[in-house]
Structures are given as structure tokens and as C-alpha cells.
Amino acid sequence: MDTTRPTTIVLGAGVVGLSTALYLQRSGHNVTVVDPLPPAGGASYGNSGLISSDTAVPIALPGMLGKVPKWLADPMGPLVVRPSYFPRALPWLLRWIAASRMERVLKISDAMRALHKESLKCWREMLGPELFADLILPVGQIRLWEGGGAESTIEMAIAERHGIRAEPLDADALRQIYPDIAPGITRGLLIPGNAYTVSPQRLVRTLGELLVAAGGEIVAERTQKIIPRGGAAGFLLMNNITNRTAQRVVVATGAWTRELLDPLGIRVPLQTERGYHAMMPSPNITLKIPMSIKNRGFGLTSMEDGLRAGGTVEIDSLHAAPNEKRAMILMEHVKRVFPTLQTGEPRYWMGHRPSTPDSLPVLGVVPNQPGLFLAFGHGHFGMTGGPPSGRLVAQLINGATPAIDPAPYSCTRF
């Protein structure tokens, strides 16, 4: 370790933490990443692999309030809250509903667009051309809706607001792309500027390998508490097997972030949106372009290990056991879209999305706590927002002019 370089500890070895760490290491820091799991051990492993650089649509949209009672009444629907957990989740849900007003949606979309639009550029910066070509396919994404609804109209309006290319697809156009799609699905929306990764796990693991190759370090430890020591003394981290000190600390611990921030008196409305996936090996159908079935709340992506259906939202405790039925129901949803699909035995998974009520991450320095930086809360958009978030936080730490205005992502906005 070069003792002349500033020491920085990044907590979290997911896509956000490793993106931040790699930008910092390459800009002159001694970086150590601390996480009890190896790279891509959490949500960065199990997501749908979508990199939505041309998506600026938050999760909460107008009209959703009327749908929430129906969703909550269906234990296998796209949104479920465990009844005993509902009182704890209610304040967050009320903020989420408030964020669905159209005037809020448009302001949120402006901040999402500013962060997401250079996602692929950041991936190229971090990976280099050869690894980028191996791991990321910029072929676009397709949104699908079964039946009626206003969501596609809202997506088109937001695309027009930001100059994003979006192409409506009729039934014939869909069948040219997906010959085996169910006849009842007759409309979609192509976002050609989006992309996906053939393996979220291998992609994030590659970031870790690049960090180590650049001189950084990744250690398998769990941080129990962050203790500010004041001024230039930085921070003491009580970990499960040792203590560590650093001049700067970046908290990128995803859904577990509140366990570290609450003792510091830093309050943020962070909720764990538990998501599931079903990984189907040896499918008889390969998707040239990944899709999102919006009314059922899941995505479908062909990856190097098979066909992955991932999504749904389950609001529950970080420590509650998975409900495997919510993963299994994804298979029924996929068969509705592709009735002739045949695969090997599916593998099921559950992970925790770190979600804020306005779909925007929390990025930047903590007021009155110099040296403590935040990078979490990306919800459904970690693979998209992680790299530009890492670049932004690194720029703020280095005192450089940030690529975008950091104000919309501040922890003080709540």
C-alpha cells in the first residue's frame, strides 16, 4: 500500500460499491472494499441484468394508488406486504404513493435521466472495450403490457420529455422479434438505447478483479458500527473480526444501510423490496432482446446460463425467510407470455433491493460529517445507476467538478 495516497474504505461489494471503489482507486486512493460476501453476492447477482440507460421512469406512477388494494389482496401479485410488517412499512408506502403524482414523477424523471444517460459510457470506462463487448449487449429493451392501462402512455411522455428514442410495437412487430409470444400480447415499446448483461454475477465480479488489479483490496468482513473520530482522524470501523481506520468511508451497503446509519442519527426512508428470480437452464427459446412485462412486474432475459425471469415486489423484513412461492409463480407468468416454453429444472433466488420512495438513490457527503459519503438506494436500477453513481461520488470525494448536479440525490431531500 502506498502510504502517500489517501485511505478510503468502501462498505459494500455490489455494483455500486465496486464502481465507486474502482473510480477512486484509479484516481489515486488506497481503497479497501469491505463486505461479508464476495462481489455480486446480493442483489447485484440476482437481478434481471437490465442496463436501462435510456429509462427515466420511476416505479411509482399516476394511477397506481387505485391498484394497490387489488395488488395487496393477491398474495402472488406484483406487490405484496406481509400483514405483520405493514405498520412498519406504512410510512414508506405513503411517501411512495405521494411520489406517484405526475408533477413529482416528471421531476424525478429529470434526475433519473441525468444519472442514467451515461451508464453505458461509465461501463465502458470501467471495463474497457474488450470486456464491455464480452459482458454487455446494447441491443435495447422491450416493454410489454397485457390488456389496457396508462403506463405505456406515461412512458412515451417521459421519453419525449427527455428526447429518448422509443418505438411503439404492434402485434406483427412483436412477432417478428418474438415468434413464440402469446397471441394475446399485442402491444409493446422498444427502447433501443438500453442494454443488458449476459451475466450480472460475472460482470460485477469483473469489477472486483479490475479493482484488485489496480491495487485495491477486497476483504470478507462485516462492519458492525461506524465510529467517527473527528476531523482528520477519520473513522474507526468495528468489524466482526477486526477494527479498521480510514480517512474516508463510503457506505454502499444496499438494503442493510440503515443498520449502519441509524446509530449515527442519519435517517433515510429506505425500504427493502424483496425480489425473486427463476433461472431456467437449457430453454428452447432465446430472446434476442430482453423484455419487461410491466403489468406483472417482472423481466425476462436470456443470459449465458439460461433464461432468467426476475422481479415482483415483496415488502418485508430484511431477516424474514423467503417465500419460494413468489419465485415459483414467475414460471406461470412466463408460460403466459411464451406458452411453448420448455426448460430444465428452474433455480430460485430471493434478494433485497434497497429502495427509496422516489426511486432515486442517496448519493454524496453527509452534512456535518466530513469524510462520510453515501451511495445506496438504487432500487430496481442498480446495474444502470451504479456506475454513474460511483463516478459522481468519486468526483465529490476528489473535489472535482461533478458530471451532474448532486443535489437531487442528497440525503437531506427527505
Do 7-45+202-267+359-413 and 54-101+109-114+125-198+270-355 show the same overall fold?
Answer: no
Determine how β-strand 235-239 pairs with β-strand 223-228.
antiparallel
For the chain, the average pLDDT equals 94
Q: Compute the C-alpha angle 164/363/127, nearest 5°.
A: 65
Q: At residue 281, does pLDDT exceed 70?
A: yes
User: 176 Cβ partners below 8 Å, 6+ apart?
Assistant: none
pLDDT tens-digit map of 6-41: 799 999 999 999 999 999 999 999 999 999 999 998
Average pLDDT estimate for 402-411: 97
For residue 187, the SS3 value is: coil
For residue 164, the SS3 value is: coil
pLDDT, residue 151, reads 62
Question: Which grid coordinates are listed for 270?
Answer: 429506505
- For the chain, the structural domain boundaries read 7-45+202-267+359-413, 54-101+109-114+125-198+270-355
The region of weakest confidence among 133-137, 231-235, 332-336, 367-371 is: 231-235
pLDDT tens-digit map of 169-202: 999 999 999 999 999 899 899 999 999 999 999 9
pTM, to two decimals: 0.95
Question: Which grid coordinates are listed for 151?
Answer: 403506463
CATH T-level fold of 7-45+202-267+359-413: FAD/NAD(P)-binding domain (3.50.50)
DSSP 99-144: TTSHHHHHHHHHHHHHHHTTHHHHHHHHH-HHHHHHHEE---EEEE
Question: Which grid coordinates are listed for 142?
Answer: 422491450
pLDDT tens-digit map of 368-385: 999 999 999 999 999 999
- How sure is the predictor about 142, in pLDDT bands with cuts at 50, 70 and 90? very high
Cβ-contact 214, 26 below 8 angstroms: yes
Rounded Cα distance, 360 and 322, in Å: 26
pLDDT tens-digit map of 223-251: 999 999 988 889 999 999 999 999 999 99
Q: Which CATH superfamily is domain 54-101+109-114+125-198+270-355 in?
A: D-Amino Acid Oxidase, subunit A, domain 2 (3.30.9.10)
